[in-house]
Structure 1
Amino acid sequence: MTASLVSRGLIADPSLRVGVSAVGDSGVVSPRLSAREVEILSTWLVCDTKVEVADKLFVTAATVRTHLARIRSKYRDVGRPAGTKIALLIRAVEDGYCTLDDIACKLDFGAHDEDDDGVVAPVVSVVR
């Protein structure tokens, strides 16, 4: 479809097809995610379950799954598959859809205990 649009002069550059951003400075093609896809993705990266994402964004878990499938499909279409959550995190950071600071600010690092002096300290468990 895109090839026929290019050959007919309707699209000047194949990199301008729907869902694909232009090639960046690093030579990597990034998929063009919608604002809602970025919102779903960034929320998914800081939540434990799709149900939790759905609750936070007032959608169904099926909607979250659909958006994540589309995001993964867009990455696969540009030759940069992201089949796991960590792969999606890496791609999102590489493409500027979020930063590690953004993710860290949204993360709940767990329960906190109060010391005797009233200072709240994070609970840390070490597994050996």
Structure 2
Amino acid sequence: MVWSDTALKRGAPLLASSSSESIVVWEKHPDERVGWEGQVLGQHDARIEAMQFQPGTSTLATAGADGWVVLWQKRRLGQMLDGAPNGFSSLCWHAKGHQLAAGGAAGELVVWSKGTRGQGFGQK
């Protein structure tokens, strides 16, 4: 599980959890009696190994044993990044959120940087 570091309009940050190859993003409902509502996100074909919110945003990165890092923007598929044929085992955002690093199960290190023209993240 991982919390976002920013609160949404409803006053609470997002919470993400994973189960096998699916992610659930939880958002606090404005009605206290309802509590938290979850939305299932599924794009990976194998177990989710790591996930983390981009600092200062609600963008979620997930790394899977399928060899994909998926960026979820506004709880929708934003971008799919590859680079570890044997799967990813870890990931971490730079503190300023402009770079994302992921570790492969076979020892690879892949670093993506945010494009300067709003075209997502590219490998560096």
Q: Under a length normalisation based on structure 1, what TM-score does the superposition of the two structures give?
A: 0.25
Is the radius of gyration larger for structure 1 or structure 2?
1
Bigger fraction of residues in strand: 2
Q: Under a length normalisation based on structure 2, what TM-score does the superposition of the two structures give?
A: 0.25
